[in-house]
Chain A
Amino acid sequence: MSRTDFLATLQQRVILFDGGMGSMLIAAGLGSGETPEAWVLNRPEEIAWVHRAYLQAGAEVVTTATFGASRLKLASSPEGRSLDVMAVNERAVEIARKAMEDDGISTRFLAGDIGPSGQFFPPVGTLRASDARASFREQAQALCNAGVDLFLIETMYDLREALEALRAVRELSDLPVLVCLTFDQKPRGFFTIMGDTPGKAVNALLPEGASGLGANCTLGSRTMIELAGTFRPLTAAPLLFQPNAGQPVMEREIPQYRQQASEFAQDMMAILQAGANAIGGCCGTTPDFIRETRKLLLANSNSEGAR
């Protein structure tokens, strides 16, 4: 698939992304203190299993297991530091591509995932823009070389960092890039922890070459409906929303998300009503969530066709 395929499809209809990777790996036994990206090299069959499960549930976009596979982020753990940035990203793309080929349906897209560095710009931390850019550039280059269809920059808590990731991608690729920030709800509206608003994100990201934008993580599906409604009047650009499956509850030291897949799927329809062009799941969502969402999507498009 090519750039035009993804964006053209997004113009015509809703695209369903996959659900969470990290919480699936924890359920599969990813242990305390382990780096998820290490599994890309050491336990590739587990990563492939998650991709296949999402594809079978009806996800049209497979997201690589590279959320934390930038040099800066990997440097935050001893295990991460021992990993080769290029190898992790390239291998993750191969695993995802193979899962898509095995599945055999051609109208599917491979999104190269880029998450935050985990570090902070001043005054909170000491991260420099040039270091952030270099770290993202290296990851983006590896993803690009290995052959993704689009980039997904997500869970960004600082618009400045999201911009550095976007610029890094744009330096070396004209593939579609979607940028999702992570917002919290405050009495005065939706803000990142740095105080960035949806409006500020729209005004900053689109002129820098984002193909679309939106939000993921932090919020559950119910609150994300309101956020989608806040975003829609601000731009005609494609909007993507990937909420969590509610808030985690710890059970036997494993985070459990208690939201029912059917409830999540209902909320996702409301998010589409509010103006989203693409939807998917973040932490705690499973193939069941995507399957339920797919069912409602099909039911809706059938009833529209009958009208």
Chain B
Amino acid sequence: MKAFLERCIQSVQDGDAELAAGLAREALERGYSPLEVIENGFVKGIREVGRLWEEGVLFLPELVMSAEAMKLAMSLLRPALAKGARLATRGHVVIGTIEGDIHDIGKSLVATMLEANGFRITDLGADVPVGRFVDEVEKSDADCLAISALLTTTMSGQRRVIEGLKQRGLRLRVKVLVGGAPCSHEWAQQIGADGYAGDAVAAVVLAQELLGSGTAQ
């Protein structure tokens, strides 16, 4: 089993989606606990990728490929989980890129990395109107709202989302994360967000800090 888990870790680290999917199928065929394969295999792999990214060993192409491998393996293992074991989820994150801004890649990478690390994700896409973010918080059980803005000309929309949440009495229901090239810790503070993350790996760390160790789903 240990050797098998090591292969799972390595497949994610190598960004080998085909291998990761093959291992996920093999795990199901052999009757391994999907929970254990996820938590002690694939998740460990993606955490290691996060560490190597921060150190400057891996870069955007590798991060994207590892996240894709992780996502594919999870998509195969998750249905098996639902039947038996309860996967600990770290919380529900609603994510999107603010209106006027069509940048999708950074936001999607954050979504994938959060998902890979055990968060449940609702991805609203790019060019999302301010009101849509607020509506989504109102009607869902979101624990966290993550808003991306890649342009200095669109980042004021992040402030308007927070104002919209306040007006509807929803601000305390969710933690608000902001990200994107022109954003900063100071900006997050200024607009009353709960935090800023500079990249997908930092976003995972931040979400974990803000939402605590997670809840059973």
Chain A interface size band reads 20 to 34
- Whether A187 and B55, one on each chain, are in contact in the complex, defined by CB atoms closer than 8 angstroms, is yes
* Bound-complex Cα distance A193 to B68 (A): 18
A203 within 8 A of B: no
- Which chain A positions have C-beta within 8 A of B184? 247-250
B205 within 8 A of A: no
Which A91-144 residues have a C-beta within 8 angstroms of B?
Answer: 120, 123-125
CB distance from B105 to the nearest CB of A (A): 6
Kindly report which residue of chain A lies nearest to residue B99, judged by CB atoms: A33
CB distance from B52 to the nearest CB of A (A): 10
- A125, A195, A249: which contacts B59 (Cβ < 8 A)? A195
Interface segment out of the listed B78-86, B116-124, B149-157: B149-157
- Whether B55 and A123, one on each chain, are in contact in the complex, defined by CB atoms closer than 8 angstroms, is no
Contact with B along A176-193 (1 / 0, CB 8 A): 000000000011110111
- Whether B56 and A189, one on each chain, are in contact in the complex, defined by CB atoms closer than 8 angstroms, is yes
Contact with A along B78-102 (1 / 0, CB 8 A): 0000000000000000000000101
- Which chain A positions have C-beta within 8 A of B60? 124, 193-195
* Bound-complex Cα distance A34 to B105 (A): 21
A199 within 8 A of B: no
- B15, B55, B61: which contacts A194 (Cβ < 8 A)? B61
- Which chain B positions have C-beta within 8 A of A77? 102
- Whether B55 and A186, one on each chain, are in contact in the complex, defined by CB atoms closer than 8 angstroms, is yes
Contact with A along B55-68 (1 / 0, CB 8 A): 11111111011001
A26 within 8 A of B: yes
A76 within 8 A of B: yes
* Bound-complex Cα distance A77 to B103 (A): 10
- Whether A188 and B154, one on each chain, are in contact in the complex, defined by CB atoms closer than 8 angstroms, is no
- Which chain A positions have C-beta within 8 A of B100? 32-33
B36 within 8 A of A: no
- B54, B154, B190: which contacts A33 (Cβ < 8 A)? B154
- Whether B102 and A123, one on each chain, are in contact in the complex, defined by CB atoms closer than 8 angstroms, is no
B214 within 8 A of A: no
Contact with B along A15-42 (1 / 0, CB 8 A): 0000000000010001111100000000
Kindly report which residue of chain A lies nearest to residue B186, judged by CB atoms: A249
B182 within 8 A of A: yes
- A30, A187, A192, A248: which contacts B182 (Cβ < 8 A)? A248
Can you list 12 contacts pairing A with B, beta carbon distance less than 8 Å?
Answer: A26-B153, A32-B154, A123-B65, A187-B54, A192-B59, A194-B59, A194-B60, A194-B61, A249-B184, A250-B182, A253-B155, A253-B156
